[in-house]
Amino acid sequence: MIHFVILNNRQGKVRLTKWYSTYSQKERSKVIRELTGIILSRGPKLCNFVEWRGLKVVYKRYAGLYFSMCIDQDDNELETLDIIHHYVEMLDRYFLNVCELDLIYNFHKAYYILDELLLAGELQESSRRTIARLVAAQDSLVETAREQASLLGDLVK
Amino acid sequence: MASTTSSIMDTLFQRTLEDLIKGLRLQLIGESAFISKALDEIRREIKSTDPHTKSNALQKLSYLSSLHHLDMSWAAFHVVEVMSSSRFSHKKIGYHAASLSFSDSTPVLLLITNQLRKDLTNPNNEFEVSLALECLSRIATTDLCRDLTPEIFTLLSSTKIFVRKKAIALVLRVFEKYPDAVKVCFKRLVENLDSTDPHIVSAVVGVFCELTSNDPKSYLPLAPEFYRILVDSKNNWVLIKMLKIFAKLVLLEPRLAKRVVEPVCDHMRRTGAKSLMFECVRTVVSSLSDYEEAVKLAVVKIRELLLDDDPNLKYLGLNALSIVAPKHLWAVLENKEVVIKWLSDEDPNIKRESLRLVMAMVSENNVVEICRVLVNYALKSDPEFCNEILGSILSTCSRNLYEIVNDFDWYVSLLGEMSRILHCQQGDEIENQLIDICMRVRDVRPELVRVGRDLLIDPALLSNHFLYRILSAAAWVSGEYVEFSRNPFELIEALLQPRTNLLPPSIRAIYIQSAFKVLIFCLHSYLLQRESTTSSYPDTSALSELASKREMPEGSDSATFKAPSHSEQDEVFNPRVSNQSFEELSVGNGGDRTISHGQTSTPVTSENSFTYEAVVNHLNLIELALGPLTGSHDVEILERVRNLLCFIELIKGEVLECLVQKEENLNSAEMKSSKIIKLMSDAFSEELGPVSVSAQERVPIPEGLVLKENLNDLEMICGDIQLPSSISFSLVSNHYEEGVGASLPDLQSKEELEPPSEATSLLAEHRKRHGLYYLSSEKNDIVANDYPPANDPKLQDNQNNDTEDLVKLTEQLLVSKKRPNQAKPRPVVVKLDGDVVPVSANRPGPKDDLLSGAVQEVLLGSDTRTSTSRSNPSDKSSSKRKGKEKLITDPSSELNENLGDAEKLDHENPSSRRSKHRTHGKERRHKSPGKIREEREENGQKEKKKSSHRHARHKTRQRADVPLNVVSETPVIPDFLL
């Protein structure tokens, strides 16, 4: 299973983290520090797998962002690379040419998309179209709620 | 009133998440200051009664928590409040915050059970259900799982695919936390395997993949369903998971392997997806390695991976090869040139994998050549990889008491060579091996002394603190076995050279002690020589007496040690050299001299070897060098220096005197000092042998010694003393008078306590140093030095040639199994009882956890007494597969009930039928997978006739080499699959 997902940029700034196994807040920041150090120090034409504390970390760089997922020793590395790619494609489709700023300002959206893709550390939806539809449906639900809220704000004024 | 106004103000002027992020990026007041300011705002806003303000604050807090690692456990109650909001947008923020921050110990978890139940059963909004499911998959505790199992059970058959697949994924967590849920949910979970919806199947397979990897044996009964999916599914994600499941299952059930191997190979051939192909390869090499055809196919695919440009595929190919290596070394040998090529890849991970594989190829036929090339690689590598290479050479060669090393002279000089590599940090290991080999392999000692001398004599090495441990081993060896030295005086100079002050005290003490031993040897030889010249004995006899002090192997070795020890006096000990100043002398001891030694090793008459001048000069040298150390602050050094200086004091007068009377016919044996020297020499020439770790047990316990006293108190005192984990030696004395030819293991038994004497007290010092209480006071104080760096890596040979060299070499060597220079027989390596215990690490016992128990109960029916059969001692199946035993159910009762197949019980006289139907079984193996289904039907028909089914089983049983009564173990797997 996937133990966690980390997204960070070339400067080591974290853009998204999602933990499917239990790590305390302290462990989380330690893991992130350790892994970004390892991953950022690796050159561009090397393989995308790093053995780490008996687990494997699969990472891939898209523009200035590194997407890393930590998997078990006997999990399939190539499959995980596919999942990462899948996620990136979905972000790209959702934000229309995704860039780092999109993820910075819409960090919760990035989480919601990830939640549709993975659940309990397992891939749960491999169809991009389905995910796009689900995310859009939920967005519209949120929108209606927000409209109501702003209506309320107007009333108060 | 005031609170409502403030909340309205908050609503109107609240910073949104976007404002927060913008502010953070602007960083007008610094990040931490901004965050703490924002946090203050959040703390205020989150208490607001307006749900919008509250949820907005929570969202900001989640942002800070997830990306800036802020603690948000204090807001747990507010999270619950937002979760219970009726608005979807708020709820979403609340659930997200909960899955981010809640842990098992969060106290408010008790409050959310009802909220979750309400959301899980929400009939109108499936997205709210899915929010609850997602959140539960992160935060579920035992209590939550227990309380919500009914709702999850309902959702497992929900008509909404979107919800059902999430419920399925959640089941994994529920089972883990609350195994009793298995009773309720498992059946429905299994039913979902048959679903026509690919999403559902994918989710279920994911769950089973995780479950199986933790506890494969419980899911063996589901093999038929899995098999169907493996054959039918077109979804690569599902197939990969399926392969993982089978990789675990076939290890438990060899007959399953036979069935699975065809479809797996089929997928491997057909698929275009590299991930699926690699998974097939990995399944074959790790679990189906008994099937030659499949392995061959897998190796072909591995080769494709290895030759790919993509570093990922390269890495995975190497990875797969290292899985296959232990069982099918040919696969590695076939690809050796590629493997060796990647040894110089730019990616350290790939290099490491290929190094692993190269080491897997090492055998006693090619160890010399592979090591030579690897050492050349090490010279050119970065420090980290260099040490990895050296480390793996050391561990491979020392494996199983140097099993693959035939030529120890070579190995010892390799150790010497490795020590001189600039980046070498393997000092401890090399030190251990040098001493270990010295103890175990008698024949190699002359070479060891030579290697030790070369290391000691090089002043540049003293500046590298990684080498100190090796130097200490070299010093000890040279002192202990000085009689093999070509030139003992040279050793004294090396051991006392001025740069030894760079050494840490503990090692310097060893140097001084070794110098002491060498000096004694020199004096003793000198006296013997005088004796022989003055008396009527032929000179050879005196020397041969000396030689026989150490039981020397017959033949060339004894000759080499005798001759050189007396040669070269002209060059080394002529007055010109010895009149040089101290510094010049020691610096002048370069490697050049070794060469001249070799050239002028014409036998010199032994009368001249230990001259008066040489002895006196070296006595002076020692006094000069050690004089300043009498003020040393280190006890070890001080003690040894005093010993040595006092000894010299004691004998010097007489030695000088006796030399004056040189020409007179004085009987030196009667001199007082010569007696002392003789005594000391005897003490030092006691053989130090290895002692089994368990030797202590054989010593009878003296009467009156209380051993069973409670020594718990000592733990506090001795807690920090660590016993060496490796084989430890203590040194014992033994009496050569008892029998020169006695072999070392015998000597052990002769071990006895010597009467307390000077000799034993000196020996005790050795024991102290090399026994359990080896001093390890390491101070890496590196004194500034103006010497050139120890050694420059030899870079003259270019890298490409090297690769080719190795390829060629391995080609030659791996093809011709015959070792070319087998002329020299392998010397005896002393082994001790306590030594060789390559215990296969105890596998952890079966995890008798609740989950597997529950699953088995569901799958096998409630009357399956798995636990009783597990502990059944009379169970005859001595199957080596552990997991199998656990599946054994009581044969007499279950078979009929569970399967209603009376035929299964038929195990009378199966061997007679086996031969009859073997050919039949073979035909079946070649059938194409498309026919499998037909075949299955066929089997079904035949079952009625009670015929072919049994044969098939016998065939597989034979293949698997399992005792015949396995039949009784198999009721859990439905027939048609086997």
What is the 3-state secondary structure of B641-667?
Answer: HHHHHHHHHHHHHHHHHHHHCCCCCCC
Considering only CB atoms, which chain B residues are within 8 Å of A108? 17, 59, 62-63, 93, 96
Q: Is A138 on the interface with B (CB under 8 A)?
A: yes
Please give the helix or strand (H or E) that residue A59 lies within, else none: strand A55-62
- Cβ <8 Å between B52 and A149: yes
Give A78 to chain B, closest Cα distance, Å: 5
Secondary structure letter of residue B899 according to DSSP: I
Q: What is the pLDDT of residue B193?
A: 84
Give B20 to chain A, closest Cα distance, Å: 10
- Cβ <8 Å between B18 and A138: no
Considering only CB atoms, which chain A residues are within 8 Å of B210? 1, 122
Considering only CB atoms, which chain A residues are within 8 Å of B346? 43, 45-46
Q: What is the pLDDT of residue B333?
A: 81
Give A12 to chain B, closest Cα distance, Å: 12
Nearest C-alpha neighbor of B490 from the set B589, B396, B591, B401: B589
Here the contacts of B628-635 (C-beta below 8 Å, separation 24 or greater) are: B629/B512, B632/B505, B634/B505, B634/B506, B634/B508, B634/B509
ipTM of the complex: 0.90
Q: Are residues B102 and B80 in contact, defined by beta-carbon separation less than 8 angstroms?
A: no
User: In chain B, whose CA is at the least distance from the CA of A19?
Assistant: B100
| Whole-number Å distance between alpha carbons of B242 and B237 | 9
Closest CB to A119: pick one of B17, B62, B166.
B166
Q: Are residues B879 and B926 in contact, defined by beta-carbon separation less than 8 angstroms?
A: no
Distance of CA B443 to CAs B552, B609, B897, Å? 8, 25, 70
Average pLDDT by consecutive 10-residue portion of chain B (978 residues)? 52 73 77 82 82 82 82 83 83 86 81 84 82 85 86 84 86 86 84 84 88 85 86 86 88 83 85 86 85 85 85 86 83 81 81 84 82 84 85 85 83 86 82 85 85 85 83 87 82 84 85 87 80 53 44 40 39 37 38 37 44 80 82 84 85 68 50 74 72 75 73 64 46 39 40 46 56 42 40 42 52 44 61 50 48 73 43 41 41 41 42 43 43 44 43 43 41 47
Distance, C-alpha B921 to centroid of its chain: 43
- Which positions 106-145 of B are in contact with A (Cβ < 8 Å)? 125, 127, 133-134, 137-138
Mean pLDDT for the stretch of residues A42-60: 86
User: In chain A, whose CA is at the least distance from the CA of B172?
Assistant: A120
Q: Is B601 on the interface with A (CB under 8 A)?
A: no
Q: Are residues B624 and B644 in contact, defined by beta-carbon separation less than 8 angstroms?
A: no
| Whole-number Å distance between alpha carbons of B649 and A43 | 66
DSSP codes joined into one string, B689-711: B---TTHHHHSPPPTT----S--
User: In chain A, whose CA is at the least distance from the CA of B279?
Assistant: A76
Nearest C-alpha neighbor of B633 from the set B645, B644, B641: B641
- Cβ <8 Å between A152 and B67: no
Closest CB to B69: pick one of A29, A124, A130.
A29
Q: Are residues B395 and B428 in contact, defined by beta-carbon separation less than 8 angstroms?
A: no
Q: What is the pLDDT of residue A69?
A: 92
Cβ partners under 8 Å of residue B936, min gap 6 = B976
* Rg (alpha carbons) of chain A, rounded to whole number: 17
- Cβ <8 Å between B134 and A119: yes
Considering only CB atoms, which chain B residues are within 8 Å of A78? 274-275, 278, 312, 316
Q: Is A43 on the interface with B (CB under 8 A)?
A: yes
Q: What is the pLDDT of residue B689?
A: 64
Secondary structure letter of residue A17 according to DSSP: E
Cβ partners under 8 Å of residue B304, min gap 6 = B317
Q: Are residues B69 and A25 in contact, defined by beta-carbon separation less than 8 angstroms?
A: yes
Please give the helix or strand (H or E) that residue B134 lies within, else none: helix B126-139
Q: Is A142 on the interface with B (CB under 8 A)?
A: yes
Give A99 to chain B, closest Cα distance, Å: 16
Q: Is B697 on the interface with A (CB under 8 A)?
A: no
Q: What is the pLDDT of residue B965?
A: 42
* Rg (alpha carbons) of chain B, rounded to whole number: 39
Closest CB to A120: pick one of B18, B87, B169.
B169
- Cβ <8 Å between A78 and B278: yes
Q: Residue B241 is encoded by which pair of tokens?
A: 């998971």
Q: Give residue A70's pLDDT band: very low, low, confident or very high (50, 70, 90).
A: very high
pLDDT tens string A94-136 = 888 888 888 888 888 888 888 888 888 888 877 778 888 888 8
Q: Is B170 on the interface with A (CB under 8 A)?
A: yes
| pTM assigned to the model | 0.65
Token pair 């010895």: residue:
B578
